[in-house]
Structure 1
């Protein structure tokens, strides 16, 4: 089972792969994620939320 953290900041600090993924996201997606830091507590939730935000881009 994937580890969960208290918020996005702890996730990014503890999971280098999540940090690397987060850094590749568009600025507006990163800003949106930062508005609800407690809602993103695992790499899976980060990916799901980012995919929802970018759906329709391109």
Structure 2
């Protein structure tokens, strides 16, 4: 498991791979993630949350 951050913004600021991945997400997924940004504290949690949102399209 990767490093834990305080939230989405710290994650994408400090983890280039996570930031690049976030940039590729559809806008509606980014918006949903940003609404719950404090729950996204690792690249793994970002990927999992995005996958769940896109699975439920």
Q: What TM-score does the superposition give when structure 2 sets the normalisation length? A: 0.95
Higher helix share: 2
In the alignment, the residues of structure 2 paired with residue 51 and residue 37 of structure 1 have an alpha-carbon distance, to the nearest angstrom, of: 15
SS at match of 1:6: coil
In the alignment, the residues of structure 2 paired with residue 19 and residue 48 of structure 1 have an alpha-carbon distance, to the nearest angstrom, of: 15
Question: What is residue 34 of structure 2 aligned with on the other side?
Answer: 34
The unaligned stretches of length 5 or more in structure 2 are none
Question: What is residue 46 of structure 1 aligned with on the other side?
Answer: 46
Q: Give the CA deviation at 1:44.
A: 0.1
Rg (Cα) greater in structure = 1
The unaligned stretches of length 5 or more in structure 1 are none
How many equivalent pairs are there? 57
Q: CA RMSD in A?
A: 1.0
1:21 aligns with 2:21: yes
Following TM superposition, the consecutive aligned residue runs of length 4 or more in structure 1 with deviations greater than 4 angstroms are none
